[in-house]
Amino acid sequence: MDPTILAVLVVAGIVIAVIYFTVINKKPAELPRGEEPQGKPSRELLEGDQPKKNELKEKLDKKREEQQKTNEDREKEAEAEKQAKEKAAKEQAEAEEKERQTQEARRAEDEARKRAEDEARKKATEEAARKKAEEAASRPAEPPKPAEVAPPPESVALPRRAPPTATPKAASERDVAKVRRGLARSTGDEGFFGRLSALVRRKEFPPELLDELQEVLLTSDVGVKTTDKLLERIRTGLERKELTDPARVWDALRQEAKQILSIGGGGITLVSRPTVVMMVGVNGAGKTTTIAKIATQLTQKKKSVIMAAGDTFRAAAVQQLEAWGNRVGCPVIKGKDGADPAGVVFDAISKGKQEGADVILCDTAGRLQTKTPLMDELKKIARSAAKALDGAPHETLLVIDATNGQNALTQAKLFNEALPLTGLVLTKLDGTAKGGVILQICDELKIPVRYIGLGERSEDLHEFDADEYVEAVFGDHGKDT
């Protein structure tokens, strides 16, 4: 080929190639929608959009993440809600189960209590029948009086907490009449037993009989627990149609009261020579007077008695006991003014041992059951008595003023906590129209009543006898014979 033609062809080829590449490179790069081309060459455009793309991608990722998070949160919320619902349902089921168990336990408790009460009632009835049979068998021989039983050999120590109870004596009509006279205020129309009798004597029982009985019992110091016990008996009897007439209701009350009161014998039993009796109680309850009355009764039975003037707190208290000692004719052991009462009691017991006395009656100062140091002093006196004579004091009697009402139970509880009491003396029953506190104390604390005080004279102190007492207040509908 001609070299000129060849050169022309090469140049033309080069021109075509240059034109072709120029056109290709001018084709604009694809831009995201909405973005205007910037009029730059396409390679620059592609390179310049990369950060934007990245930005877009980040945005998208973020959105996706947020969406994911929202979804997760929703799932979590749903899960939490589900768990809360399950928990509430579980708690409710547990509460229902607990309530069911409580009710079941309550029902079982009620049944057990009823069974125990029925059993106790049955036992009491059997015991009464047995006693009656024994009494009938031993008549006409008179049962020996407790204080007249030959005392055991010198210084016999018996268990402290359970001194043998006195042999119950048959309630003689004379004694019953005496007790009834002493209780004239509570058996009178305005008194506890008088009001009780008036309620029950009605020909027909109104539906509110139980409410009325409850009012009389509660306002006569019988206390809530014991009142409930007495009413339960009447309620069951009425429901079972066993108590169809006044006499039966009265008899049910009488039986229940007797069962409550029959927890031990009255008087003191001479368990050792000497037998040491310690008298405790709040101020003015009647401790010193009761000691004098017991001393009078014992000396009348030819027992030798020594009194210990353990109330060293007031000089007048020692003089009061000395005056009684002179009147009754028995020695009084005292200390110097303000002497330690524990020492006085120790000396009295030592003297009693030396002289072979039958009984040592220890007076103590009145004290509030809430004053710890004073209660500690009582414990010290008791320890000192035990040092002087093994097993002493054989009787620790709490003297309670029956006109004190509800406070009597608190006194008995706290004194009993400080010193184990073996018995109670309930004084001034002649001075109250209520007198229900005796039922409450015996029922709740199970401490036997040893004596009741029905006046200020020595013959006004009675060895307590549940039969006699119940007969005096419930016999003949509680009316004077």
Ligand X SMILES: Nc1nc2c(ncn2[C@@H]2O[C@H](COP(=O)(O)OP(=O)(O)OP(=O)(O)O)[C@@H](O)[C@H]2O)c(=O)[nH]1
- Among residues 274, 325, 453, 478, which is the contact residue for ligand X, using CB under 6 A? 453
Residues in 404-443 at the binding interface with ligand X, rule: CB under 6 A: 427-428, 430-431
Listed residue (288, 268, 280) closest to 328, CA to CA: 288
Element (DSSP H or E) covering residue 182? helix 173-182
Candidate segments 101-109, 169-177, 452-460, 462-470, binder of ligand X by CB under 6 A: 452-460
Closer to ligand X by CB, 284 or 343: give it: 284
Torsion of CA 154, 449, 254, 168, to 10 degrees: 10
Per partner kind, with CB cut-offs from 5 to 8 A, the member of Mg ion, ligand X, none near residue 281 is: ligand X
Residue nearest to Mg ion (CB): 288
Which residues of the shown chain bind Mg ion in the complex (CB under 5 A)? 287-288
Least Å distance, CB 320 to ligand X, is 6
Given a contact cutoff of 8 angstroms between Cβ atoms, the answer to whether 1 and 7 are in contact is no
Listed residue (230, 282, 275) closest to 425, CA to CA: 282
Least Å distance, CB 294 to ligand X, is 12
3-state secondary structure at position 443: helix
What's the rounded Cα separation, in Å, for the pair 454 and 427? 7
What's the rounded Cα separation, in Å, for the pair 212 and 226? 16
Least Å distance, CB 460 to ligand X, is 6
- Give first-to-last CA distance, the chain, whole Å: 175
Residues in 281-300 at the binding interface with ligand X, rule: CB under 6 A: 281, 283-289
Closer to ligand X by CB, 380 or 477: give it: 380
Quick one: the chain helix, strand, coil %, rounded to 5? 60, 10, 30
Least Å distance, CB 190 to ligand X, is 18
Least Å distance, CB 288 to ligand X, is 3
Closer to Mg ion by CB, 288 or 396: give it: 288
Per partner kind, with CB cut-offs from 5 to 8 A, the member of Mg ion, ligand X, none near residue 334 is: none
Listed residue (358, 381, 394) closest to 277, CA to CA: 394
The residue count for binding ligand X (CB under 6 A) is: 21
Least Å distance, CB 398 to ligand X, is 11
Listed residue (279, 294, 306, 461) closest to 365, CA to CA: 279
Residues in 317-376 at the binding interface with ligand X, rule: CB under 6 A: 317, 366
**Tokens standing for 282?**
């709040």
Could you list the residues that contact ligand X (CB under 6 A)? Answer: 281, 283-289, 311, 317, 366, 399, 427-428, 430-431, 453-456, 460
